[in-house]
Amino acid sequence: MNYKSRIAGVGGYVPENVFKNTDLEKMLDTSDEWIVQRTGIEQRHWVSKEQSTSDLALKATEEALADAGIDKSEIDMIVFATLSPDHDFPGAGCFLQAKLGLSNIPAFDIRQQCSGFIYAMSMADQYLRCGTYKNILVIGAEIHSKGLDKTPNGRGVSVLFGDGAGAVILQRTEVKDPSKDGHILVSHLHADGKYAKELWLPAPGTGFPVDSRINEQMLAEGAHYASMNGKTVFVHATKRMAETLLNSCKEVGVELSDIDLFLFHQANLRINSKVAEILGIPEEKVFNTIQKYGNTTAATIPLGMRDAVKAGALKRGMLVASAAFGSGFTWGSSIYRY
Ligand code: COA
């Protein structure tokens, strides 16, 4: 059988509490003007203390299941992309599985940060195309707000990130008319570990020459907060996202002008504008959500997909391209007919 996979349903969730840039001004010694000008972000959603990452994922999953019109018992596997799991181990996929009341099916986490969803979707695609499974739940979910330095020391990073979850049901399909039927055409995945420390969260970790994963000195130095060389990330992100998109298009004989909608990772509005400029993509074909959600890392692409469907910007049969870049460095792209 010549199986492909298609997006049968999509769902998303962001917590209720909204933090506008002006709410961060006192806390972080920043300004609405700086944040909007440099990033495009106007607000983000942050969880209440009772919520965990798998709680957000559960809500997104429920919406995706309803959209796909399948019961949770039909899920064959859970692939959960996150850098902010409920606990160090086991993975958030296992916690979500229990909350869904499922057992036996495989559940695992993907730790590819901002590229997590592209990696997760590509891995699920392999299992569907070879016929092993019929329906795979692919999640991207993050709670950043519980791990941000909310003092002026953290302002370079903490203004960027929001909490949220997005989910898709990826379903095995047989494509009769590739110009109309939903399916993933291609995914490309990449990494370059020599840049691992340009955007990372060092502690807790075993990479320190001490006998514990975290100690008071690490806490005092803020090694438990993410640190980033923003300019390096910016330069590599624009270059790599453009490059991987072109390569994906080339492999399947698609012109950039054939793509109806671009759902990019949401790290910075200026990154996405620059990628569009490099590739000559009209801005109106790029669907952005960073203004209202900030960077929700693994969740940005499925959340954007959910919002684009709700806004009527994404309809069945449209050709979509996604690309992401993030910590690792990791990056990738995917072209799919929705
Ligand atoms: N509010 C106000 N001022 C801030 C600030 C904030 N939140 N954060 C940094 N600044 C200050 C800096 O201290 C610096 O001040 P100085 O000139 O007096 O030294 C100035 O603003 C410029 O800082 P810089 O870091 O050079 O800004 P930038 O133009 O590179 O923009 C980013 C910073 C983070 C917005 C930008 O580099 C970026 O988006 N990079 C990519 C990030 C990314 O994609 N991360 C997620 C990975 S997927």
310-321 pLDDT tens trace = 999 999 999 999
| Domains within the chain, CATH numbers bracketed | 4-173 (3.40.47.10), 183-337 (3.40.47.10)
Ligand 1 pocket, mutate which of 268, 301, 327 (most atoms under 8 A from CB): 268
Neighbour-count burial of 256, counting CB atoms closer than 10 A to its CB (0-12 exposed, 13-18 middle, 19+ buried)? middle
For tokens 């296992």, name the residue.
94
The residue contributing the CA closest to ligand 1 atom 45 is 267
pLDDT tens digit string along 12-66? 999 999 999 999 998 999 999 999 999 999 999 999 999 999 999 999 999 999 9
pLDDT tens digit string along 243-262? 999 999 999 999 999 999 99
The residue contributing the CA closest to ligand 1 atom 3 is 30
The residue contributing the CA closest to ligand 1 atom 29 is 38
3-state per-residue secondary structure call for 98-125: HHCCCCCCCEEEECCHHHHHHHHHHHHH
- Contact residues of ligand 1, CB 6 A cut-off: 30, 34, 38-39, 114, 155-156, 159, 199, 228, 230-231, 233-234, 237, 267-268, 271, 295, 325-326
3-class SS of residue 184:
strand
Among 287, 279, 115, which Cα is nearest to 188's? 115
Q: In the predicted model, is pLDDT for residue 1 greater than 80?
A: no
The residue contributing the CA closest to ligand 1 atom 48 is 326
pLDDT tens digit string along 217-228? 999 999 999 999
User: For all residues of the chain together, what is the average pLDDT?
Assistant: 97
Active-site choice (183, 188, 265, 268): 265
Ligand 1 centroid to Cα of residue 231, in Å, is: 8
**294-312: b (≥16 Cβ within 10 Å) or e:** bbbbbbbbbbbbbbbbeee
- Report phi then psi at 295, rounded to 5: -90, 110
Position in ligand 1 atom list of the atom nearest CA 267 = 44
Ligand 1 centroid to Cα of residue 38, in Å, is: 7
Angle, helices 21-28 vs 32-39, to 10°: value is 110
Q: What is the mean pLDDT of residues 155-174?
A: 98
